[in-house]
A and B are shown apart, each in its own frame.
Chain A
Amino acid sequence: MSSVESIPGPKIRKKVGTDALIQRGFIVVIALYLIITLAFPLYAMLSKAFEVYNYDLSQFSVQASDEEGNFTTGPVTLLDLNAELGLLGDSDMAAKGDGRLSLTQFFPDFSFRSPVMYRVAGTDEKSVFLVGSERHVGTESVEVDSNTFRKVVVRPVKSRGMSNFTRYFSTPALFRSIGNSVFIATVSTIITVTLAFWFAYALSRSCMKYKGFFRLVAMAPILVPSLLPGIALVYLFGNQGILKGLLMGQSIYGPIGIVIGSVFFTFPHAMLIIGTALSISDARLYEAAVSLRASRWRTFWTVTIPGARYGLISAAFVVFNLVITDFGLPKVIGGQFNVLAVDIYKQVIGQQNFEMGAVVSVVLLLPALLAFAIDRQVQKKQVAGLTARSVVFEPKPDRKADTGWLFYCSLVAVFILGIIGICQMAALIKFWPYDMSLSLNNYAFDRMDGGGWAAYKNSIKLGLLTAFVGTVVVFLGAYMVEKTSDFTKGRSGFQMLAMMPMAIPGMVLGLAYIFFFNNPANPLNFIYGTMAILVVSTVTHFYTVSHLTAVTALKQMDTEFESVASSLKQPFYKLFARVTVPVCMPAILNISIYLFVNAMTTVSAVVFLYSTDTALASIAVLNMDDAGDIAPAAAMGMMIFYTNAAARLLHAVGSRAILKRSEAWRQR
């Protein structure tokens, strides 16, 4: 053994163990998942926005005869002809994909009755021109009389450039939507945050009765698609609406409808965030205020509001983001009031103008990204609100104030329940308003657009698959990021990727998926049009919140577990399965119910991706409303509500049972 000392030892390098290798593998795989399902599609969309169609005049030559039909001059290319006559400028060359340019305009003295004959030809093998709708490819020339020459048109060819953006900003019908969207989102944000603040305040700072009930009611809007409040508003304030008089002649179709509906569907989000912020207040500050004889008003402004300020700001940006990216509600109730999210749909679905759809997506991405970035900054600051020495605030009964709060919360509850209730009522009425008898006719979904009962089943399937796949992917990803030691760069890169989906509006994601996955050159092309792409898009769309939930749960676990496991020579996956997963069970269940509910209600990303076999209930609501079948749309919307409510109930019961079994260690 002594000889060993004389040999210079090998350079000592930190060895990457099997565990670490497997973990790195996992991080790379999940990061790859996010790159493929998010970064690549977005890149494809961005490049689509720069794809332009232009008429290439050099591709065609024309020749006109004299009155006798003799061709005395040689063929000229359209390019030369145009240059000579100075007819069309560069901006006239820009076109949409299905644009057509008539050739008659190159002959100022053209008359369809003249005996002049025309010869048209391409200048290379790939040139295509049309006579009527007949294609002529290549350089062979076609001779037509004047009457037929009217039908000769050329198609635009694809190239790259900025002209889509110039076109967007020079079309008032399009760019005006930016102002509209920002306006709607701002107004909705102010109203929702105010309403939600007082609601949350009543729940955490008063001794009002029925708090549990109000908490439950306030959460109800999460369970329905954002289209549903729109439908309810038609029945409440539409031309046949029961409360039409309240609008005093204003139309519900437009900004008023969008704002009321937005308040409804964003309320629970704002209430949750503000509620959390209010619940971590320190009672000692209030005691100090009282002993300093500050008035209640002053205490409110110097203690309560500053304590909740990050929650308020965060809620404001979340609501703003939800409203500006929402598509379902303005689609149903927006009337002629154009907003960005609906513009994307109109451009793509209505006008088949995918390039312009991509441009609007880029425009919509900006405010969404900005709101997201500010929100992240604010969230980072909200750390040490509660210290170990804090005392939890306990509200004292105050009869008069509590009655006031009860009244206020009841009003909000009536608003929420009223919206849901009217939909159920409309769904059960035979032919509003002419035959108000009850009937189940509106549930005969198979006789309507949208996919029928099969769509409902598909939605449940999507919900379950998303919940299962999503939870596994998200939790594994969060675990690898949170609980592995080295590979810092990889982990922080992954963390950034995981935050991205929240900033991407659903419509943008859906459109990006078309560009990326519906490309025959893409090896993943086969998932286009299947349930798989719906699952992937939904998991990615709702990735961030799930990821944050998982990370929070994992952060609560001491890293000692890992050290102990490795000193006991236990592989990480054993620790993961035997300790981490059971301990994080509540968070895992929360992630899965969150994914399920959202998969049931989402419209925005999947509207571009579903096929007949994979039609969804939420899309059916949209399509039935679109076709004017409003009552069946309400009926389907309520089916989603009941399913989600049942899932939530099941989740509550199930998690209590599991917790009892797996978390016995928490009790002493």
Chain B
Amino acid sequence: MTNSKKWLLTSALAVGLASGALAEELTVYTAVEAEDLARYAEMFNADHPDIQINWVRDSTGVITAKLLAEKDNPQADVIWGLAATSLLLFKSEGMLEPYAPEGVELLDPKFVDQSDPPQWVGMDAWVAAICYNTVEAGALDLPVPTSWQDLLDPVYEGHLIMPNPNSSGTGFLDVSSWLQIFGEEGGWEYMDGLHNNIARYTHSGSAPCKLAASGEIPIGISFAFRGAKSKAAGAPIEIIVPTEGVGWDMEATAIVAGTDSLEAAQTLVDWSITRAANEMYNTGYAVVAYPGVAQPVEHFPENLAEMMIDNDFEFAANNRSAILEEWQSRYDGKSDPK
């Protein structure tokens, strides 16, 4: 072993020991995109170096399932960045620790749980959008869709892709928003029509946009943030906000009831609603909980905030099971639409 390596090792050990002595560890469950997690932890540790975050990241459906499965034996201390509809479900199962974080009154009330003290607080909104690959769609002569209804046009048959709402939070917000925009009956009718054009349903919510970005499919129903990222990476895509309005869900934060590190959890949640944290969310999300923070995000459609529908989260949470069952019986397991 060379000297420099030895030095590195000992100093690494020393740092490890020093931080080990101080650090409190928090197990944080999240559905935030993987590439943002390191940044979130870094920013948080700049203010609170003594709390170490152990991330458990997966798609919304997986994390929700995990938390429900661990209901009697919770492994998580904090949930940071999971769909509000999931948190509402946990709330109704009595799995969350009520806590009013410091400065919660500064947030847009739409982003805070109604109970007092609130059981969760919102961070930002992630919004549905259509990713349209100009090169592939051009080659196939597909017109640019401007509304959800446009997507029913038979020219799109086999050229659309969307997430399966049973596994993807994005897919579910699409479905629940259509049920709210078009009404219950109209919503299902709309999806019946859409189903004829869908090539397949993906497991994850970001996949449709990534697949559109790579030209595997011309049009993907996904969320705006993902589209903006793919566009920034050089994909020939346009992000389209349908004129009827778009569904959205909130990413939210909560403390898991029964955590052993309540104090550290509260510190984290306190920090998660600060202005600095909201500025951090703003790099990817055009709409955040802290009023006056949001700056326009590159490649993001400008009118997005106005196009967000007035989402009834309780409707979505309490009808989730019934909606998904109906969806499954209508569209899942049908043979591959050609």
Instruction: Give residues in A with beta carbon < 8 Å to B.
Output: 95-100, 102, 128, 130, 132-135, 151, 153, 155, 171-174, 176-177, 234, 238-240, 251, 253-254, 331, 335-338, 346, 348-352, 354, 431-435, 446-450, 452, 514, 518-520, 525, 528-529, 611-613, 623, 626-630
| Docked-complex contact A336 and B200, CB < 8 angstroms | yes
Q: How far is the CA of A385 from the CA of B319 in the complex (A)?
A: 64
Q: What is the chain A residue whose CB lies nearest that of B75?
A: A529
Per-position binary interface string of chain B over residues 78-106, scored 1 when its CB falls under 8 Å from any chain A CB and 0 otherwise? 00000000001101111000000000000
Compute how far the CA of A186 lies from the CA of B194 in the bound complex, rounded to whole angstroms.
33
Does A346 contact B215, Cβ atoms closer than 8 Å? Answer: no
Q: List 19 A-B contacts (CB under 8 A).
A: A98-B68, A102-B318, A151-B314, A171-B328, A173-B329, A240-B216, A254-B336, A336-B336, A337-B335, A350-B203, A351-B65, A449-B33, A449-B57, A518-B70, A612-B56, A626-B202, A627-B59, A627-B210, A628-B208
Contact call A519/B214, Cβ cutoff below 8 A: no
- The answer to whether A172 and B336 have CB atoms under 8 Å apart is no
Q: A352-B69, A627-B210 are in contact. List 20 more A-B contacts (CB 8 A).
A: A98-B68, A98-B320, A135-B92, A251-B199, A253-B200, A335-B199, A336-B336, A338-B332, A349-B167, A350-B168, A351-B65, A431-B235, A434-B135, A434-B236, A518-B73, A528-B75, A613-B54, A623-B58, A627-B59, A628-B204
Contacts of A446 in B (CB 8 A): 38
A contact patch SS: loop
Nearest-neighbour CB distance to chain B for A205, whole angstroms, equals 41
Residues in B with CB closer than 8 Å to A177 are 333
Contact A447 B34 (CB under 8 A): yes
CB proximity of B243 to chain A, nearest CB, Å: 26
Contact call B314/A350, Cβ cutoff below 8 A: no
Contacts of B335 in A (CB 8 A): 336-337
The residues in B between 175 and 228 inclusive whose CB is less than 8 angstroms from any CB of A are 199-204, 206-211, 213-217
**Contact residue among B64, B65, B168, B215 (Cβ-Cβ distance under 8 Å from A240):** B215
CA distance A176 to B164 in the complex (A): 18
B146 interface hit (Cβ, 8 Å): no
- Look across to chain A and name the residue whose beta carbon is closest to the beta carbon of B220: A628
Whether A352 lies near B73 (C-beta < 8 A) is: no
Query: For the complex, is B233 an interface residue (Cβ under 8 Å from A)?
Result: yes
Q: Is B114's CB within 8 Å of the partner chain A?
A: yes
Roughly how many angstroms separate A584 CA and B333 CA in the complex, as a whole number? 50
Taking the complex as formed, is B115 at the interface, i.e. its CB lies under 8 A from any CB of chain A?
A: yes
Selected contact of B217 from candidates A96, A134, A239, CB within 8 Å: A239
Say whether A627 contacts B206, CB under 8 Å. yes
Which residues of the partner chain B approach A613 to less than 8 Å between Cβ atoms? 54
| B35 in complex: contacting residue of A239, A251, A448, CB < 8 Å | A448
The contact size tier of chain B is 35 or more
Given A348-B65, A434-B234, A447-B35, CB of A132 within 8 Å of CB of B214:
no
Q: How far is the CA of A134 from the CA of B93 in the complex (A)?
A: 9
Q: Are B54 and A612 in contact (CB under 8 A)?
A: yes
Contacts of B217 in A (CB 8 A): 239
Closest to B85 in A: A133
Contacts of B65 in A (CB 8 A): 348-352, 354
Known: A176-B333, A336-B201, A612-B54. A352 touches B64 (CB 8 A): yes
Using Cβ atoms and an 8 Å threshold, which residues of chain B touch A611?
A: 56, 75
Quote the shortest CB–CB distance from B53 to chain A (angstroms). Answer: 10
For the complex, what is the distance from the CA of A352 to the CA of B85, rounded to whole Å?
14
The 7 closest A-B pairs by CB, nearest first: A628-B210, A173-B333, A350-B167, A628-B207, A520-B73, A352-B65, A350-B166
The answer, yes or no, to whether B122 is at the interface (CB within 8 Å) is: no
Check if B325 is an interface residue, CB within 8 A of chain A.
yes
Residues in B neighbouring A95, C-beta threshold 8 A? 321
Residues of chain A lying within 8 A (CB to CB) of residue B215: 239-240, 433-434
Specify which chain B residues have a CB less than 8 angstroms from the CB of A525 in the assembled complex: 73
Say how far A436's CB is from chain B's closest CB, in angstroms.
12
Bound CA span A518–B70, Å: 7
Report chain B residues within 8 Å CB of A100: 318-319, 321-322
Whether A612 lies near B55 (C-beta < 8 A) is yes
Q: Known A348-B65, A529-B75; judge A133-B337 contact (CB<8 A).
A: no
Complex Cα distance, B96 from A233, in Å, reads 44
- Which residues of A sit under 8 angstroms from B73, Cβ to Cβ? 518-520, 525
Which of B72, B321, B336 is A253 in contact with, Cβ under 8 Å?
B336
In whole angstroms, what is the CA distance A171 to B333 when docked? 10
Q: B114, B199, B214: which contacts A432 (Cβ < 8 A)?
A: B214
Q: B216 and A234: CB pair below 8 A? A: yes
Contacts A99-B322, A626-B204 known; A349 to B216 CB distance under 8 Å?
no
- Whether B317 contacts A135 by the Cβ 8 Å rule is no
Tell me which residues across on chain A come within 8 A of B336, comparing CB atoms: 251, 253-254, 335-337
Q: Are A133 and B317 in contact (CB under 8 A)?
A: yes
**Which partner residue on chain A sits nearest B165 by CB separation?**
A350
CA distance in complex: A627, B325 (Å) = 24
When the two chains form their complex, are residues B202 and A628 in contact, meaning their CB atoms are under 8 A apart? yes
Distance in angstroms between the alpha carbons of A166 and B204 in the assembled complex: 30
Are the C-beta atoms of A352 and B68 separated by less than 8 Å?
yes
In the complex, A611→B56 CA distance in Å?
Answer: 7
B324 within 8 A of A: yes
Chain B: CB-nearest residue to A624: B34
Tell me if B247 is interfacial: C-beta within 8 Å of chain A: no
- Report chain A residues within 8 Å CB of B214: 240, 431-434, 628, 630
Partner of B167, one of A173, A176, A346, A629: A346
**A240 contacts which chain B residues (CB < 8 A)?**
214-216
Give the residues in chain A near B333, CB-CB below 8 Å: 172-174, 176-177, 336, 338
Within 8 A of A (CB), among B298-330: 314, 317-322, 324-325, 328-329
What CA separation (Å) do A100 and B161 show in the bound complex? Answer: 30
A628 with B206, Cβ < 8 A, contacts A100-B321, A153-B318, A449-B34 known = yes
Q: Which residues of A contact B203 (CB under 8 A)?
A: 331, 350, 626
- B207 contact set on A, CB distance < 8 A: 626-628
User: How many whole Å from B95's CB to the nearest CB in chain A?
Assistant: 10
